[in-house]
């Protein structure tokens, strides 16, 4: 599970609980200017993951960590696909963040509102 916060001009993603161990990350901070958008996408977990390096992938249980696919680096932290959101990035280490949040709708609204200066 991840927590989303806006800190000044940055999107901050904090990985919580045991997921920190699986994902091998505890926090990501991304300038809002590099956030292209966020969407609710429970189907994202069905897409091919690519090569895991480093992280964990136990189908139907957890996808966490960094995965490389078709020249892109994607960060995953999902246990429950129904709570997955996708954050598209530009000019960052990761092309996308696919993460599980407690309230997907509220997280997407927070991100989109911050991107548009609301």
- pLDDT score for 114: 95
The 3-state DSSP composition of the chain as helix, strand, coil percent (nearest 5) reads: 25, 50, 25
Give the residue extent of every domain in the chain: 2-115
12: left (phi over 0), alpha (psi -120 to 50) or beta: beta
As averages over each run of 10 residues, the pLDDT of the chain (118 residues) reads 94 85 80 97 89 78 87 93 96 96 97 87
Distances (CA, A) of 29 to 2, 22, 80: 13, 19, 23
99: left (phi over 0), alpha (psi -120 to 50) or beta: beta
pTM: 0.91
- pLDDT score for 52: 82
CA 101/CA 67 separation, integer angstroms: 19
- pLDDT score for 22: 64
């Amino acid at each position: 599970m991840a927590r989303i916060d806006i800190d000044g001009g940055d999107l901050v993603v904090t990985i919580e609980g045991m997921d920190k161990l699986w994902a091998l990350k505890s926090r990501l901070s991304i300038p809002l200017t590099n956030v292209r958008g966020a969407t609710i996408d429970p189907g994202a977990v069905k897409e091919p993951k690519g090569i895991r390096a480093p992280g964990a992938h136990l189908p139907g249980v957890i996808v966490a960590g960094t995965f490389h696919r078709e020249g892109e680096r994607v960060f995953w932290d999902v246990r429950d696909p129904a709570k997955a959101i996708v954050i598209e990035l530009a000019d960052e280490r990761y092309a996308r963040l696919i993460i599980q949040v407690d309230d997907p709708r509220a997280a997407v609204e927070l991100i989109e509102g911050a991107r548009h200066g609301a």
